Structure 1
Amino acid sequence: MTAADYEATTKGSPASTSVIPAVKDRPADPRPSAPGATVQPGPGRRASLRLTHVEPWSVTRLAFAISVAMMIVAVVAVAIFWFVLDFVGVWDQINDSFTTVLSDDTSAFNVTDYFGVGRVIGLTLVLSAVNVVLMTALATIAAHLYNLAAQLMGGVEVTLAEDK
């Protein structure tokens, strides 16, 4: 909409108010098209970028967050698995099997004394904590190594394209 069009629409009385919607001009297609011919859209914009530096502190924080999330998932999964095995009766069957193999009529052996829920979840917590430390350290070292390699080789080239 031009300034003259706007002025012509707002020349009413001072009490009148008109709202003019925004009109976006469409660019003309530079390719001539024959009547009835279909116009194929051209390729979108493309940009080639090179990743030459990765911030090690960002990698450390991300690796730590992902490792802690994996730790939580592991503890919950092990707890659910243990309770499902208990609900199904696997621990009782293992106790019966040991009693049969040992040919002992006393019920002194109980597998849950060795593989109780507390011990299993505690072991999972310890192994997951070690995993958090190792994965965070390895990711940080990998970020530094990538930065060194990118200085020598130039980094990773990525091409981004815009869809039309």
Structure 2
Amino acid sequence: MAKADPWSVMKVSFLLSIALGICTIVASAVLWMVMDAMGVFSTVGGTISEATGSNGSNGFDLQSFLSLPNVLMFTTVIAVIDVVLATALATLGAFIYNLSAGFVGGVELTLAEDE
């Protein structure tokens, strides 16, 4: 393999990173729903509000901070950043591979049929 087309690498890495971003958002939503159904947020939130509260205030409210819209918004921002970075790094990797393949001749692949 003497050359990798950077445009093709960019298109494929963009599509794969979009798929990974969608999987990340869905997985975080499912994980949040499972943890909410188990009562993790209410239990931990009650402990944190007791620990941080005083006589005049109720303390830190973990349940409003880790609500589903907040978690999904944060996950979406991380997924978008991941899409941009993964696409850019894969394209940059294709450029670097093409430069190094010019010096060393690329990678030799041998394909054989199973008999």
Same-fold call, TM cutoff 0.5: yes
Go from structure 1 to structure 2 and tell me whether the alpha carbon gap of 1:107 and 1:87 turns closer, same or farther (over 3 Å shift): farther
Q: Name the counterpart of 1:67.
A: 17
Find out whether 1:113 has 2:64 as its counterpart: yes
Q: Which amino acid aligns with 2:80?
A: A
1:155 deviates by 0.3
Separation in 2, partners of 1:104, 1:86? 28
Gaps of 5+ in 2: none
1:95 deviates by 2.3
Q: Which amino acid aligns with 1:155?
A: G
1:156 equivalent among 107, 111, 115: 107
Contact residue 99 and residue 105 of structure 1 kept, 8 A: no
Secondary structure of 2:114's counterpart equals coil
Secondary structure of 2:108's counterpart equals strand
Q: Name the counterpart of 2:96.
A: 145
Separation in 2, partners of 1:137, 1:118? 29
1:141 deviates by 0.7
Separation in 1, partners of 2:54, 2:47? 10
Q: How many residues align?
A: 114
Separation in 1, partners of 2:34, 2:28? 10
Q: Deviations over 1:107-153 (max 9, x none)?
A: 67531211111011100000110110011011111101111111110
Q: Name the counterpart of 2:7.
A: 57
Q: Name the counterpart of 1:131.
A: 82
Contact residue 42 and residue 63 of structure 2 kept, 8 A: no
1:80 equivalent among 5, 8, 30: 30
Q: Extract structure 1 runs of 4+ deviating beyond 4 A.
A: 103-109
Contact residue 29 and residue 68 of structure 2 kept, 8 A: yes
Separation in 2, partners of 1:91, 1:106? 20
Q: CA RMSD for the aligned pairs?
A: 1.8
Q: How does 1:1-80 map to 2 (within 5 A)?
A: 51-80=1-30
The structure richer in strand per residue is 1
Q: Which amino acid aligns with 2:76?
A: L
Identity of aligned residues (%): 38
Separation in 2, partners of 1:80, 1:94? 19
Q: Name the counterpart of 1:92.
A: 42
Structure with greater Cα Rg? 1
